[in-house]
Amino acid sequence: MNHLGFRLRHPTLDDAQAVCDLVAVCDTEDLGAPDIVLDDVLNMWSGFDLDHNVWVAEDENDDLVGYAFLEEDSEEKLFSYGCVRPSARGRGVGAALVAVLEARALALRDESGKTKRLQGMIPSSCSDAAALFEGHGFAPIRYFKRMTLRLEAEPAAGVLPERFAIVPYVKGRDEQAVYEAYTEAFADHWDFAVPSIEKFIERTQLPTFEERWWLIAWDSEEDTVAGFALCRMSEDLLFIEHLGVRRCYRGRGLALALLQNVFASSYRAGQINVSLGVDAANPTGAYRLYEKAGMKPENEISIYEKTFPISAS
């Protein structure tokens, strides 16, 4: 316990529910509603190094007041997230979490001998978090919109051009084809790091994964994947993690058709809330597409970044 009344430690799986509850409280305060369930935490932690890249802060009553993680996205880029319980803000918890994230970034830089870029995301409305990052030398570099749609009636399924069909992903058949379509479709997106195919399909090994929520736009003439909508269902909404169309298939209405089929499938499954995140400056016009489909911006996230270069000495 430090003089400010809290201590940092690495969590165990026994902390997952408390972390979920903490993030939900912070989401409600900063974004208007919770945006996490227990499975989200467990799924993330299944790929994290809990002993080195995840931290919790607890007070004198052993209640969690802060949480942060660092994810090694690529050899160069590190991504982080942190939050502090609203009632504990102003006590130095956020500064302590930023300090351990920076220390870990430096350690990974020194271990690898490669420059590291540490990114962190915060709600754009949180001026105190922005001041904290900027005080530590971070700068805002990108903004993402969270868009939502509440389905009040069953939507019509999207209309596809001839030779195309929308089918669910099948394990053991579609891994390579969907991976290739994903890496091509996102190659021109901001800061995209190509994952290994093993890393990409890790999500299909999670206990919460359902094949029916990974939809493929299939070109029967070329016998290949033209586009995809990779989604996950949770208790409170269907979240579209990735929606993309390969370059040579753009301009044919496939993205809108995929989106409309996601809406229809979600409604038929009894889930009327659909959500996704989109880069506000996406060059493919994704933001306009989602607006055309009836989705509305709900909140905004700012991405901050700080570079830790290799020493010249």
In this predicted model, what pLDDT tens digit does every residue of 61-95 receive, in sequence order?
999 999 999 999 889 999 999 999 999 999 999 99
313 — pLDDT class (breaks 50, 70, 90): low
Residue 1: the pLDDT is 75
**Whole-number pLDDT of residue 285:** 81
- Binning pLDDT at 50, 70 and 90, where does residue 312 land? low
The pTM of the full predicted model, rounded to 2 decimals, is 0.91
Q: Are residues 61 and 168 in the same domain?
A: no
Residue 225: strand, helix, or coil: strand
* CA dihedral for 83, 88, 94, 96, sign (positive or negative): negative
Give the pLDDT of residue 236. Answer: 85
Higher-confidence residue of 280 and 146: namely 146
**46 and 98 assigned to the same domain:** yes
Q: How confident is the model at residue 106 (pLDDT cuts 50, 70, 90)?
A: very high
The answer to whether residue 251 scores a pLDDT higher than 60 is: yes
- Both 129 and 199 in a single domain? no
Domain identity same for 94 and 22: yes
> For the chain, what percent of residues have pLDDT higher than 90?
87
Name the residue range of residue 171's domain.
Answer: 153-271
Separation CA 220–CA 241 (nearest Å): 25
- Give the Cα separation of 276 and 148 in Å (integer): 7
Domain-embedded: residue 93: yes
| CB neighbour list of residue 158: distance below 8 Å, 6 or more residues apart | 166, 253, 256, 257, 258, 259, 260, 261, 264
Give the pLDDT confidence score for residue 54 in this predicted structure: 98
CATH number, residue 119 = 3.40.630.30
Same structural domain, 110 and 158: no
Angle subtended by helix axes 16-31 and 38-45, to nearest 10: 120
pLDDT of residue 281: 84
User: Chain-wide mean pLDDT for the chain?
Assistant: 94
Q: 172 with 219, same domain?
A: yes
> Residue 196 in 3-state DSSP?
coil
Q: What is the pLDDT of residue 3?
A: 73
Per-residue pLDDT, averaged over 140-165, amounts to: 93
Q: Which region among 70-74, 251-255, 284-288 has the lowest average model confidence (pLDDT)? A: 284-288
User: Which pLDDT band, with edges at 50, 70 and 90, does 156 fall under?
Assistant: confident
Mean pLDDT of 193-212: 93
Same domain, 62 and 80: yes
Q: Is residue 122 scored above 80 in pLDDT?
A: yes
- Residues 20, 135, single domain; the answer is yes
295 within some domain: no
Confidence of residue 294 (pLDDT cuts 50, 70, 90): very high
Please give the average per-residue pLDDT across 269-293, as a whole number.
90
Query: In angstroms, rounded to a whole number, what is the distance separating the alpha carbons of residues 61 and 20?
Result: 18
Same domain assignment for residues 22 and 101 = yes
